[in-house]
Chains A and B, each alone.
Chain A
């Protein structure tokens, strides 16, 4: 199948949508399909073979923040030419409601168009004004996908219509193997008898440290219970936020055992997952899927997570990771203690997690996306330029 994918944001700038497009494109190519991606890119950017540049994106204020977007006649004509030259079976537009390449592509094309909606917001200041402008472009999309329940809700409430839910994939093999961070013993896989390990174990957390929904405060309270009981136990915290602020919330006696890395690189993040004995996901809600959880599962980290609905589902009701009542620090401490003392159980959870996360691997997600393509594709017809014999 010939697939054209439109990425609205600058290729070389890190971002969720770009990562999604890259992983999807590579998974589709892996299945033997012809894929071309058009995206804004800086002039000197090195692009993979399957990527075509639509020129530079311009920073403009949009919807309350400054976004780098590609618009204007030049971008529009490049998208048009790309559509014309490639004769795709399906055009897959990402974030078609953003004023960037996606919207231009909807405008310029006729035929089977799939649109994936990523963003979720509860309030948009401009949507009542922009809805009529967007409407005629969005109405051309024949198959809509939302990457999360929140994105789907946003779509239903602000733009009307419905979408099928196909969550982001996880590039599980990217997380599968890594050395622990320097100074950390790494996950104990030897099955050493309880108490025989010198270091006392490591609990890990990854996520925004200053966002209550991520639940770091619950884990810190649990560490106040566990720390005094287990003299060697350490806590490794990584993620955006103010590190000093986190340390200040820990009682002075325990401070030297709480290591806050702050924001880490992608490579260090993978190593962090491999540095902990138990990965804790104490989120208090608002998660539709938990990409961090899926990454930790891919790394084979034994997981202890709050029993919010999304985590319960991802962890197969507790089979692929232990669950504790959401927000309950004492229960978290008790469960963490049990896991730290039970290497066999940790090993089993690790194996179950690796197996369970395969359902979320990009190869599985790309297969679902392909089914959407096959549903909307019209035999014997390709995507054509708008207004030219559609």
Chain B
């Protein structure tokens, strides 16, 4: 017959073990969410850079009149060079500039008629759509991570490590509609 305190010890050890497993799983999950946020952010940055590049390509392609080229090139350059603080505004401005350009009467028909025109427009459509997708996926990841980090356990224990509090990326990304 074992003394009673053995049972108490076994019980306490078991509880500590289970709590440990639980906390570790929560930490793993949070880590996975942070990785997802980072991956989605990288994809979003890539999509934005790509869109600015296509806009610049269109501006430099001689498919457009010089005034339109200038509007596009300026907006694309602003978006590429904006600092973290003004990035969202600059990217929204590029969306608006692209819409204004594509919305010109007969724009799609005129550009498509030129050599390379159709290919550039197709690239622009793909790049604009990918910004919408990448931003949605990023904000979705951020929302999941934020919800997880608001949980009591995560706030009390330093499970989030040094990962920054993830921020949404809010821009007007409505694509131009040819």
Contacts and interface: CB of A to CB of B under 8 A. Distances in A.
B127 to A, nearest CB: 9
B92 interface: no
B29 A375 contact: no
Chain A to chain B: the 9 pairs with minimum beta-carbon distance, closest first: A375-B133, A143-B137, A161-B140, A164-B136, A375-B134, A375-B130, A162-B140, A371-B129, A372-B133
Contact of B137 (A136, A375, A378): A375
A142 B40 contact: yes
B126 interface: yes
Given A375-B47, A375-B137, A376-B43, A142 B36 contact: yes
Contacts of B141: 142
A163 B130 contact: no
Interface residues of B, number: 22
Contact of A371 (B32, B126, B139, B147): B126
Q: How would you classify the secondary structure of chain A's contact residues: helix, strand, loop or mixed?
A: mixed
Given A142-B137, A144-B137, A162-B139, 4 more contacts: A142-B141, A160-B147, A162-B136, A162-B143
Interface in A330-375: 368, 371-372, 374-375
10 contacts: A136-B29, A139-B29, A140-B32, A142-B36, A142-B39, A144-B137, A160-B144, A164-B137, A371-B130, A374-B130
The winner among A163, A368, A371, A372 for most chain B CB atoms within 10 A is A371
A376 B36 CA distance: 10
A163 B134 CA distance: 11
B132 interface: yes
B33 interface: yes
Interface of B: 29, 32-33, 36, 39-40, 43, 47, 126, 129-130, 132-134, 136-137, 139-141, 143-144, 147
Given A161-B144, A163-B140, A139 B33 contact: yes
Nearest to A145: B133
A139 B36 contact: yes
The winner among A139, A162, A372, A375 for most chain B CB atoms within 10 A is A375
A363 B130 CA distance: 17
A215 B49 CA distance: 48
A368 B36 contact: no
A163 B136 contact: yes
B134 A378 contact: no
A283 B121 CA distance: 36
Given A139-B33, A371-B126, A375-B47, A164 B40 contact: no
Nearest to B131: A375
Contacts of B33: 139
Given A375-B130, A375-B133, A378-B39, A139 B144 contact: yes
A136 B29 CA distance: 8
A140 B29 CA distance: 10
Contacts of A162: 136, 139-140, 143
Nearest to B40: A142
A164 B139 contact: no
A161 B143 contact: yes
Contacts of A144: 136-137, 140
A374 B133 CA distance: 10
A89 B11 CA distance: 47
Contacts of B133: 143, 164, 371-372, 375
Nearest to B141: A142
Contacts of A160: 143-144, 147
Given A375-B47, A376-B43, A139 B32 contact: yes
A67 B36 CA distance: 32
Nearest to B144: A139
Contacts of B137: 142-144, 164, 375-376
Interface in A116-168: 136, 139-140, 142-144, 160-164
